[in-house]
Amino acid sequence: MNQATLRDCRILVVEDEYMLADELRTELLDAGATVLGPVGTIEDALELIAGETAIDGAILDINLRGEMVFPAADLLTQRNVPFAFATGYEESAIPDRFKQITRCEKPVDLNRITQALRQVA
């Protein structure tokens, strides 16, 4: 599956490292996606998720300035929004309720993220 499958998709980016967030934003825009964010705190992520009527997918860093992203992942799950974790954390750091969610090692490969989002959607 190629990046073109993201055309016209609204993708949320939750990442606290500016360079990684900007690179991912640029790649998503190049793939035709509409980027929501990036946001770098759990508070901003929760606010953005609650305020958006349509989110087609999300890419979540697990650790946001010392806070875990799992409340945002729970909210996305409740809304049936597919997402993937982009992280350096081991699989053992992810709660059991998210074991089926794709975990992509940083730096992320946009093609892998696209596949992960499309498999769940």
75 and 84 in contact (C-beta within 8 Å)?
Answer: no
Q: What is the pLDDT of residue 89?
A: 82
The model's pLDDT over 73-101, given as tens digits with 9 standing for 90+, comes to 999 999 999 999 998 888 888 999 999 99
The percent helix, strand, coil of the chain (3-state, each to 5) is 45, 25, 35
Spans in the chain with pLDDT lower than 50: 1-4, 120-121
The pTM of this model reads 0.89
Both tokens of residue 108? Answer: 């992320």
79 and 49 in contact (C-beta within 8 Å)?
Answer: yes
φ, ψ dihedrals at 112, nearest 5°:
-65, -40
CB-CB neighbours of 8 under 10 Å: 8
